[in-house]
Amino acid sequence: MTLVFVYGTLKRGRENHGWIEKQRFIAEARTKPIYRLFDLGGYPGMIRSEPGIAIVGEVWDVDLTGLAKLDVLEDIDGGEYERVPVELEGEFADQRVEGYLYLRSVEGRRDVGACW
């Protein structure tokens, strides 16, 4: 099992939650203030940025089958996102938690603040 931080359409009640709903929800969480969140046209992309802000999301315990599905959704092979360790605050500060960082340009995209 892998802990995964989600911050957009995969969160509970959002349009892509079905991709993760059979996995185990752990807790709400926030990143260290070294990221930014951008509107990519109906879904967000998180990038590492300094100065940054703390992004609000959720931590899920995801099995290997679930990770493979999420990697497809996030277009890992196509180079849109990469799954990497994400630095979180609070109870997750000392744990390995992975998340999806956006790899393409955010030039001209709207910064949406801490929460999608």
Catalytic amino acids?
74
H-state helical runs in the chain: 64-73
Calculate the CA 102 to chain-centre distance.
9
Q: Is the CB of residue 18 less than 8 Å from the CB of residue 69?
A: no
Dig out the tokens for 21 from the structure: 């709903």
Dig out the tokens for 72 from the structure: 């497809």
Calculate the CA 30 to chain-centre distance.
10
Dig out the tokens for 94 from the structure: 């000392």
